[in-house]
Amino acid sequence: MSHPLHHLLFFFLLLPFSTVAQTNGMVDFGSSITASVNASTPWLSPSQDFAFGFKRLEDNNLFLLSIWYYKIPDQTIVWYANKGIPVSTGSKVEITADKGLVLTDPRGQELWNSNPDLNQVAYGFMNDTGNFMLVGGGSVDVWQSFKDPTDTLLPTQIMEYGGVLFSRQTQKNFSRGRFQLRLLYDGNLVLNTRDLDTNFAYDAYYWSNTYDADNVTNRGYQVIFNETGYMYVLTGSNQRKVLAPGIVLPSGDYYHRATLDFDGVFTQYYHPKTENGNWTVFWSEPDNICVGIVGKEGRGACGYNSICTINDNKRPDCSCPLGFSLLDQSDKYGDCKPNFTQSCEDYDKSSSGDLYDLSVLIDTDWPMSDYEQLEHMSEERCRNSCLQDCFCAVAILRNYTCWKKKLPLSNGRNDSAVNGKAFMKFRKSNPPPQPTDPCFSPPDIKKNDRTLILVGSVLLSISLFVNVVLTGAFCLVFFLIYQKKILKNRDGPSAAETNLRCFTYEELAEAADGFKDELGRGSFGIVYEGVLQMGNSRNSVAVKKLDWLVQVKDREKEFRTEVNVIGQTHHKNLVRLVGFCNEGEHRMLVYEFMSNGMLASFLFGEMKPSWNQRSKIALGIARGLLYLHEECSIQIIHCDIKPQNILLDDYYNARISDFGLAKLLMINQSQTNTGIRGTRGYVAPEWFRSKPVTAKVDVYSFGVLLLEIITCRKHLGELETGQEDRAILTDWVYECFLKDRLDALVEDDSEALNDSRNVQRFLMVGIWCIQEDPSQRPTMRKVTQMLEGVVEVAVPPSPSQFSFLS
């Protein structure tokens, strides 16, 4: 690697002339750049081949602190700070003496620093190799970007033992992705996928074979990208393992880079310095990533349930099979979700031929998802075996062997080497009408119907001819009346459809001891504690008894909604509905019992819960809402998220409850028109404007709730004298945010103050969620990712005051 020492004497002579110094790559101590639409001039290398500064992204308000090729049209980024997390307008980078490069947000909050060695920083230098360096006293390098690589290596750069490159998450998202290039301590250079949450490395799908078990000196210890553009692993015995043997570099003057691309392919590119054009691939590994990833764990090159096909450029193309769609429509390399829910109930199994069909995929397989292998199978027998098996999602037939697989499917690939057929199950129709449920029996024949029978009987005795005529007429009238009432009753829930237990009123009255122990009450009824015999054990339950005084229309609608919604969902952050009663005037819902009660009592009690508990609860609620919005077969908008509707189980895990006001959106429906729903203070502004509502109304309510969790204050709570400025929580929180008064928000909570960075992140997420404009609010998927720290949170703008007093 070239060193700038030969420049230093000349640079010191030019220190008084800052413009000239920057033109020659040197950046004075104390220099800074601010991110703005009319961005400051970046710090350029002497040849102006490379630039260091804020690179504006497609979102005009987001910038990436990075190094990029300055002269070529696409200005390709080769290094970035802050783990690839962008920053907003007004952020600044400055060279300081003690921390080197320091990145701050518009309010001066530190986001990242280069953390140099203990030496004091004297100045910075943007090298012509693309290496930004910080130089201390005695011209000693104290930090350089080459030693802190991101997804790219450049000529003259060296990777040592333990070195790692991270891919981006997507082509335009620079946050760390699923793929890694690592030089292991055993000497092998490997490519592998990883778990985003834990950073656990899955099995390698490429390795350099530079490990020698018998001779330590023959193991690789450096990856060198030399100045001529060749890359090799250098062993302890000074042997070179060239990574692209037999390939000759093009002659002429070219830029070179080697990048671990977002799709997991490690690729060396070249680009002419003197001409416009695109980057050209010199070599890449692996040749076919679709078949290269074979581990039992992880998603493979594409997402779960997806199919990977290698294209002519040796890049993976991902697609969802028939009956599946992308979980995240913006990420075509992500997971695919089924557009149906298959159950193992009798009504689903017995009609499998009517409900399901199989699409045929040639040379397609998910090799690590088998649960059953059947020998000597014909195509017809393999197909039928999967079709009749409620666990089977796909069956692979190859060489008269049938492999059955269940969801989720991983490492999907389409490749001629598979040499077989895949029979993929999909739903072709809705379930057929079910037999009448005893809890929702047909209506009794009323007085008018009995009159018809009596009159008909008398008339039938007159003559045989008249008898026949009237019998036919009677049957027709009775049939029409009966059918009309049957259809009317089908609006109600069905135990078969929801897979719930149907209770009689007497059973629940006995279980709840005559409805004596009240747990809580809401606008639609009272909840009582009870104990039920379920199987061989007695379990505590909560019985919600709907109030008869509520208007019949609202009571019936709330009851049907809650049974149908919760009965078809299953998630660890939702309260599980055990069963229901629909007998005469009695409408009751039976839930699993939550021993730690409502979040409201926990949050606003005398003892403030720990910050660790509160952050865990907030994340659980976010995950539950994400499930309702994106991971159910039908999108569900809860419409009444508040601390009274969040319950806590034995381990203080958050469980979302009370779906009485929920709104269901059908497939391909993203919004709906409906009257105002929810609770004052948590209701999104669009409700008041008679505009179509989307899942963003839940995001708004969650934002208010998140601010309550952070501060342990009610959104419109009773205040002490002299605290009128805190009357509206959302106003006060944003004011504290602007003044950087985190201590005022959490008061004497030392645990929260010690974790100020995460508290700050949660706070900014909450402010993003309560934006007046729904389009500015993030989705619950992004909210969850921001809370988890997977996606960085930009500084939020001011929310509107419109909704605060509504």
**Is 263 a catalytic site residue?**
no
Q: How far apart are CA 294 and CA 300, in angstroms?
A: 7
**Spatial contact of 205 and 226, defined as CB atoms under 8 Å apart:** no
Q: How far apart are CA 200 and CA 178, in angstroms?
A: 10
Our measurement of the distance from residue 386's CA atom to the centroid of its chain's CA atoms, rounded to an integer in Å, reads 31
- Tokens 């072709």 correspond to 428
Q: How far apart are CA 4 and CA 26, in angstroms?
A: 10
Which three-class secondary structure state does DSSP give residue 64? strand
φ/ψ of residue 701, rounded to 5: -60, -40
Kindly write down the DSSP assignment for every residue of 251-269, as one continuous string.
SS-EEEEEEE-TTS-EEEE
Amino acid identity of residue 15, one-letter, is L
Please calculate the CA angle 690-692-697 and round it to the nearest 5 degrees.
Answer: 95
- From 795, 806, 713, 800, select the one nearest 760 (Cα to Cα): 795
- Structure tokens of 244? 């692209």
Which three-class secondary structure state does DSSP give residue 707? helix
**Spatial contact of 572 and 653, defined as CB atoms under 8 Å apart:** yes
List all residues 6 or more positions away from 407 whose beta carbon is below 8 Å from its beta carbon: 304, 305, 338, 393
- Structure tokens of 128? 């012509």
Query: Mind spelling out the 3-state secondary structure of 382-396?
Result: HHHHHHCCCCCCEEE
- Structure tokens of 746? 């959490």
**Spatial contact of 422 and 360, defined as CB atoms under 8 Å apart:** yes
Burial class (CB in 10 A: 0-12, 13-18, 19+), 582: buried
Kindly write down the DSSP assignment for every residue of 417-443, as one continuous string.
GG-SEEEEEEE-SPPPPPPPPGGGPPP
Gyration radius of the chain's alpha carbons: 33
Which three-class secondary structure state does DSSP give residue 600? helix
Q: How far apart are CA 643 and CA 316, in angstroms?
A: 45
Q: Which of 151, 263, 357, 640 is catalytic?
A: 640
Query: Cβ of 25: how many Cβ atoms within 10 Å?
Result: 24
**Spatial contact of 33 and 92, defined as CB atoms under 8 Å apart:** yes
Query: Cβ of 59: how many Cβ atoms within 10 Å?
Result: 11
Among all residues, which ones are annotated catalytic?
Answer: 640
